Chains A and B, each alone.
Chain A
Amino acid sequence: MSANAWRLDSGGRIDRTQRLSFRFDGSAYQGFAGDTLASALLANGVRIAGRSFKLHRPRGLFGSWCEEPNTIVQIGRGADLVPNLKATQVELFDGLDARSVNCWPSARLDVFAPLQLLAGLMPAGFYYKTFMWPNWHWFEPLVRRAAGLGVAPTLPDPDRYEERYEHCDVLVIGGGPAGLAAALAATRAGARIVLVDDRPVLGGALQWEEHIIDGQPALHWVSAVESELRAAARTRVLQRTTAFGCYDHNLVALCERSERTSPTAVRERLWHVRAAQVVLATGAIERPVVFPNNDVPGVMLASAAMNYAVQYAVRPGQRAVFVTSCDSAYDAAEALRARGITVVAIVDVRGEPGDSATSAARAGIPVMAGYGPARVHGARVTRGIEVRPLEQGAKSWRSDHVQRLDCDVLCVSGGWTPSVHLFSQVGGRLRYAPERAALVPAADLSTIRCAGSASGSFAVQDCLSEGFAAGREAAHLTGAAAECGVTPAALAKHAGVAPFWASPRDRRRKAWVDLQNDVTRGDLELAVRENLHSIEHVKRYTTAGMAVDQGKTSNMNALALLAELTGRRIPDVGTTDPRNVSRPARWSVLSSAAPHAPRPLAHRARRRVGRLRGLEASRLVRCARRFPGGARQIREARRADCGKPFRWFAARQNRSTRPRRSRFSKPHVLQQHAHSRRGPSPLRHHAQRARDHY
């Protein structure tokens, strides 16, 4: 099929006059300036762009930004090699040389592909049970080779990395509608602000969703706001900058990527921003639905399909079917239809979808209300989907009547999950909001507030008003109280959603929960059968949500399925804690050292992260030096010290004179807690002293 079949003739925010050549898995392709590697691959008809982590199943593009679980690539060669990037976040440049990871020789033809035939031998936790005899280390090299991601570069990194300290009144994280509104209000109020956005262009979803804001198209509003912000002397706008960690006392760590204007320019910069007030406008990530074969290339998030079609002028497919439980997918369907892509049907699991469905039907898009996805047809590419009528409540099938819809792209939307990683990192509590089918921030912290989709308000008009109010309040709290003007208003859109996590169980077929780590619904069931009920245990046993994407698309579904399997309500299951460095950051930028700094990179990176977290660098270093042999020597020292083998709880009891209470009840969490505790706890200090003594 020619490339033209996938690239739309007009539209998109790409520069068609600038052709860029690139290579993927050895083949040469062409794209345009403004493309990401992902959109360029899609525009060249590349459907299998990666292989799954464990079973080497073929995988295609699933998301369009940081949520992408499948298409992990490494770019460059030699000293320039960068492993484990998401193709969706790589801006296309001329001469880009990308390879898929975890497969050989290419994603399309992978010699490890037969591994998926052995899927039955590799259930959840199989590695805890197999390869243990006679010695795990005999198998380790082979297993590591078969399962793994990119290859680390062996040559020294030739690039420059820097760090920078910054202070501001209001730090706004996210450049979508809520973030822009917040930055606008805070700027007008007269505060010194920093606006951070991780995309190359401001606007967030406004780049591909169609809205009318203050009577003008959304993109006009975005550029008007952008010029107002850039003109303000006290406002700093950082683009291509990811906030990856939120630490004590409003310290936020950012990673800024440069545009690489010259080879000697700084490649990435680590910002330590100390803000009086933080507004988190980090948006939300669309959630897939769990049903059989939902990992076949061609299944993608509805928002991603819309993003590719509108922003990059790429057809995600020629015939699309939508599976949804929320209203936002109707906008995506309409956007695809308007660009000449056949929308076969919108399969809405809700019995009464409401106004959106009425208007879609009026526009000529068939809506199948009360149907659910039964299975995807196709192995290397989506060929169609079987749908079946659902019972009220969507817990079981209503009849055996199965209808097949032919399509080559299946757009799924199970609602939205607020991106609250940073909020949770600083101890923000979440609550389950059933009417939004999402975990949302329970209450703002005194200096950190969430706005827009990040707080569970998914409609654009709410994003704008919440963002504006958050920016104004934050600025007022820092003493900047000038008049902010009128709140931007948008034509209201529906944002209704019903909780729907998975189709009724099909025992014969695998339904994928975590695409990146190959975790199926069956794995979760196995974990529950083996009596693992805590979300923390299930997560570790099945590895759901433990991939490098930290479960951006999978955590909520895993949580809901676990609740269902164990007969609990979602709030009773609880959540797992997101780790800091919530988006991967390179060791080079974490160590961000001057070229003549003497220590090894990994050491400097570890020290820097430790410092951010408040673990005193000198102590970590001392510990490592004293015990070059690692844990064994520590244990021996401990034995000499306490007269018994080191056990965390034993040491704890020995040391304490009166019972301690803790908000954590599980020993392993407790232990983790003790290590990750920021700041100098007397307990840790004491342990350290004992260690130093020996």
Chain B
Amino acid sequence: MLEHRAPLDQLSRARNTETLHDADAGLRVTPVTDRGLLLLQGSPEDAVLRDAIGRQIGARVPGPQTTDIRGEYALLWMTPKEWLLELPAAETSAVQGALVARLAPSLAAITDISDALACFDIGGDPAMDVLMTGCSLDLRPHAFAAGRVARTAIADVHAIIWKPGIAHLFRCWVDRSFAEHFWNWLADSPARW
């Protein structure tokens, strides 16, 4: 078994990564370290896959741009044949093992990619404004409602952004090698608004 290295390790050595809280603007940026990610690949028509997801976490396979949130689990649509399962980091191996067993009869694959991506919660009133300084998506509430997910570029790096449902909160996943860049960009943002 390989040694587990949290994606934000490098970042935390380099900088103070406690919650960035700008009281004046009301912006709050939190590095999230307790979430794991499983990548599911398969066909949306695959009954085994749908059944496995339903039985394991009670979720349905979401359609384009949407998510299905069940308690601590969130299943995010990525591409027509890929989904991300976001779950508590501690459960990652167990859930992966269970899903591997359930998916055995099908061609679907499941991979633990928790170490590949770093996660940030961006909340507070100016969260949307700050993100729209570097993201060309329309993030206004009527266009990017709760439960929406998108893969796009933020601050010139590839990112997954989704809205868990709490008002003014966005969750972003970026490649771990860009985590420091992304953090710097966010830390720099209170000066902008």
Where the two chains meet, the residues of A that have a C-beta atom closer than 8 Å to any C-beta of B are: 160, 162-167, 192, 264-266, 272, 274, 594-596
Q: How far is the CB of B37 from chain A (nearest CB, A)?
A: 27
| B136 neighbours in A (Cβ, 8 Å) | 165, 272, 274
Q: A164-B132, A164-B133 are in contact. Are A266 and B184 (CB under 8 A)?
A: no
A162 to B185, CA, bound (A): 12
| A274 neighbours in B (Cβ, 8 Å) | 136, 138
Q: How far is the CB of B83 from chain A (nearest CB, A)?
A: 27
Lowest 10 CB-CB distances: which A-B pairs, in order? A167-B138, A165-B136, A165-B132, A162-B192, A164-B133, A594-B188, A162-B133, A266-B192, A594-B185, A164-B132
Question: Does B146 sit at the interface, judged by CB under 8 A?
Answer: no
Is B133 a contact partner of A163 (Cβ separation < 8 A)?
yes
Is A165 a contact partner of B184 (Cβ separation < 8 A)?
no
Is A266 a contact partner of B188 (Cβ separation < 8 A)?
no
| A594 neighbours in B (Cβ, 8 Å) | 155, 184-185, 188
Question: Does B145 sit at the interface, judged by CB under 8 A?
Answer: no
Q: Give 20 A-B pairs besides A163-B134, A165-B136, A167-B140 with Cβ atoms closer than 8 angstroms.
A: A160-B192, A162-B133, A162-B192, A164-B129, A164-B132, A164-B133, A165-B132, A165-B133, A165-B137, A166-B132, A167-B138, A167-B143, A192-B140, A264-B191, A265-B191, A272-B136, A594-B184, A594-B185, A595-B188, A596-B184
Question: Does B110 sit at the interface, judged by CB under 8 A?
Answer: no
State the main secondary structure of chain A at its contact with B. Answer: strand
A595 to B184, CA, bound (A): 10
| B134 neighbours in A (Cβ, 8 Å) | 163
B residues 138-152 touching A (CB-CB < 8 Å): 138, 140, 143
A66 to B136, CA, bound (A): 30
A115 to B126, CA, bound (A): 57
B residues 101-138 touching A (CB-CB < 8 Å): 129, 132-138
Where the two chains meet, the residues of B that have a C-beta atom closer than 8 Å to any C-beta of A are: 129, 132-138, 140, 143, 155, 184-185, 188, 191-192
Is B191 a contact partner of A160 (Cβ separation < 8 A)?
yes
Q: How far is the CB of B182 from chain A (nearest CB, A)?
A: 11
A594 to B130, CA, bound (A): 13
| A160 neighbours in B (Cβ, 8 Å) | 191-192
Q: How far is the CB of B187 from chain A (nearest CB, A)?
A: 10
Q: How far is the CB of A336 from chain B (nearest CB, A)?
A: 45
A264 to B190, CA, bound (A): 11
Q: How far is the CB of A317 from chain B (nearest CB, A)?
A: 46
A187 to B192, CA, bound (A): 27
Q: How far is the CB of A528 from chain B (nearest CB, A)?
A: 48
A162 to B129, CA, bound (A): 12
Query: Which chain A residue lies CB-closest to B181?
Result: A596
| A165 neighbours in B (Cβ, 8 Å) | 132-133, 135-137
Q: How far is the CB of B42 from chain A (nearest CB, A)?
A: 33
Q: How far is the CB of B148 from chain A (nearest CB, A)?
A: 15
Q: How far is the CB of A249 from chain B (nearest CB, A)?
A: 12
Q: How far is the CB of B24 from chain A (nearest CB, A)?
A: 13
| B137 neighbours in A (Cβ, 8 Å) | 165
A272 to B133, CA, bound (A): 10
A162 to B155, CA, bound (A): 12
| A272 neighbours in B (Cβ, 8 Å) | 136
Kindly name the residue among B133, B136, B138, B184 whose own CB sees the greatest number of chain A CB atoms within 10 A.
Answer: B133
Q: How far is the CB of B124 from chain A (nearest CB, A)?
A: 17
A–B pairs, 28, beta carbons within 8 Å: A160-B192, A162-B133, A162-B192, A163-B133, A163-B134, A164-B129, A164-B132, A164-B133, A165-B132, A165-B133, A165-B135, A165-B136, A165-B137, A167-B140, A167-B143, A192-B140, A264-B191, A265-B191, A266-B191, A266-B192, A272-B136, A274-B138, A594-B155, A594-B184, A594-B185, A594-B188, A595-B188, A596-B184
Q: How far is the CB of A596 from chain B (nearest CB, A)?
A: 6
A166 to B136, CA, bound (A): 8
A146 to B33, CA, bound (A): 63
Kindly name the residue among A163, A166, A594, A595 whose own CB sees the greatest number of chain B CB atoms within 10 A.
Answer: A594
Query: Which chain A residue lies CB-closest to B138?
Result: A167
A160 to B143, CA, bound (A): 30
Q: How far is the CB of B56 from chain A (nearest CB, A)?
A: 38
| B138 neighbours in A (Cβ, 8 Å) | 167, 274
Query: Which chain A residue lies CB-closest to B142?
Result: A192
| A264 neighbours in B (Cβ, 8 Å) | 191
Query: Which chain B residue lies CB-closest to A265?
Result: B191
A610 to B44, CA, bound (A): 39
A266 to B155, CA, bound (A): 17
Query: Which chain B residue lies CB-closest to A162?
Result: B192
Q: How far is the CB of B161 from chain A (nearest CB, A)?
A: 13
Query: Which chain B residue lies CB-closest to A167?
Result: B138
Query: Which chain A residue lies CB-closest to B143?
Result: A167
| B192 neighbours in A (Cβ, 8 Å) | 160, 162, 266
A166 to B128, CA, bound (A): 11
Query: Which chain B residue lies CB-closest to A597?
Result: B156
Q: How far is the CB of B184 from chain A (nearest CB, A)?
A: 6
Q: How far is the CB of B50 from chain A (nearest CB, A)?
A: 35
Q: How far is the CB of A263 from chain B (nearest CB, A)?
A: 11
A160 to B192, CA, bound (A): 9
| B133 neighbours in A (Cβ, 8 Å) | 162-165
Q: How far is the CB of A470 from chain B (nearest CB, A)?
A: 24
A595 to B191, CA, bound (A): 12
Q: How far is the CB of B32 from chain A (nearest CB, A)?
A: 23
| B185 neighbours in A (Cβ, 8 Å) | 594
A265 to B135, CA, bound (A): 21
A268 to B141, CA, bound (A): 27
Q: How far is the CB of B112 from chain A (nearest CB, A)?
A: 32
Q: How far is the CB of A679 from chain B (nearest CB, A)?
A: 17
Q: How far is the CB of B89 from chain A (nearest CB, A)?
A: 30
Q: How far is the CB of B144 from chain A (nearest CB, A)?
A: 10
| A162 neighbours in B (Cβ, 8 Å) | 133, 192
| A192 neighbours in B (Cβ, 8 Å) | 140
A327 to B65, CA, bound (A): 58
A192 to B185, CA, bound (A): 29
Q: How far is the CB of B87 from chain A (nearest CB, A)?
A: 32
Q: How far is the CB of B156 from chain A (nearest CB, A)?
A: 9
| B132 neighbours in A (Cβ, 8 Å) | 164-166
Q: How far is the CB of B6 from chain A (nearest CB, A)?
A: 24
| B188 neighbours in A (Cβ, 8 Å) | 594-595
Q: How far is the CB of A537 from chain B (nearest CB, A)?
A: 40
| B143 neighbours in A (Cβ, 8 Å) | 167
Kindly name the residue among A163, A164, A266 whose own CB sees the greatest number of chain B CB atoms within 10 A.
Answer: A164
A483 to B131, CA, bound (A): 34
A192 to B143, CA, bound (A): 12
| A167 neighbours in B (Cβ, 8 Å) | 138, 140, 143
| A596 neighbours in B (Cβ, 8 Å) | 184
Query: Which chain A residue lies CB-closest to B135?
Result: A165
A136 to B138, CA, bound (A): 52
